[in-house]
Structure 1
Amino acid sequence: MSQLYQPDLFLQERIPRKPYCTDDLSYGIRPRSYKTAITRRYIQVNPPHLRTFLLFDLDYAGAALAWEDNNLPMPAWAAINRENTHAHLAYALSAPVLTADFGGRQAALRYLAAIEAAYRAKLGGDDGFSGLITKNPMHPHWELLRGVPDAVRGYDLPYLADFVDLERFKPYVGRSNVEAVGLGRNCTVFNVVSRWAYENVLEYKQQGLTLAG
């Protein structure tokens, strides 16, 4: 990955104003100012209720180049454990996706969830990785492989989708998905709650009742 003429990985408007961060996960994480958080080994890069980066935890040697081995686009960065060469890979999104359900577009969230699941499967990423915080690529504790400028600026969803088969990862409404992980959890919760609400409102109407009683 070239290190010439790179945009800043951490433009302040792309990550939370007070990211969760820590130098040692065993001591927990706490929100700090941007100026402080950027000096910690681990940092939160996605703002609350928004997804600006797709993050993957690859627990195997040589993980930094897994994207190349699996014919995927170059990530914005790979932050590498110097001892075992395991890595966190980050894909920047050119436009953030709302992950909460207040005014959010569920179609965009499902699309992103399918892409995330497909990339995780192809990269062999850890299903248990929540992505709340990640290895800070700017911290000297980690070795950094930085993407080309286009990768750092971010890809749009259709471009990312071109590299994977999404059919078996789409969390459709009504589909049983007991193994949902990552963004798929958001979609599954929304599907269950919206289906429950629809069925119960319909029952109320059939009984001639109103929500006001």
Structure 2
Amino acid sequence: MWKAEDTCTEWLNKEAPSSVIYVSFGSVVVLSAKQMECIAKALKNSNSPFIWVVKQPDLPEPDGAGQLPLGFLEETKDQGVIVSWSPQTKVLAHPAIACFITHCGWNSVLETISAGVPVIAYPKWSDQPTNAKLIVDVFRIGLRLRANQDGIVSNEEVERCIREIMDGPKSVELKSNARELRIAAREAVAGGGSSDKNILLFVDEIIESCVQLKHAM
């Protein structure tokens, strides 16, 4: 729907392995100005390189929602890159990526699993809370951001999760689980894998139904 900015992959080539924080909340989520400020502050305080996808709305949002804080671009020009849309599968597959802060849309979940990248989950609605629970409690490849009493995830909370997933006590387990899940996912979609077999069965069922319908007519 939007043209991806390939310059971010060129930028990634200059960064150290497992050093970059990738942030994207998909094509629909628009964060409040306060929430944008908290995430911006956390990224700046992390002192880690980052790529942040900030989609520009067709029309200005009320109260500055979805907008970067004033001065943030200048303050972090040597630390991170802001893009309006990214080639996400390429970005996640890049060895420089350390973690993915995401809204946990299903496409993003599948892409991060296929890439073997640990997740910091910030779900908003629909299937996203369920997907976040899978990531944190079932797959055990990530952490979940918790909002305060005002419904805002503070910069301290974002910073805590970044530290934990980058080099905290749980980081080794999370990264190991992500690598194992990546291998399992790729085996599933390869020829003869479980996903490949299920797709073939689905196609066979459609063909069989069409044959039966033809004979019934």
Normalized per residue, the structure richer in strand is 1
TM-score interval, smaller chain: under 0.3
TM-score (norm 1): 0.26
TM-score (norm 2): 0.25
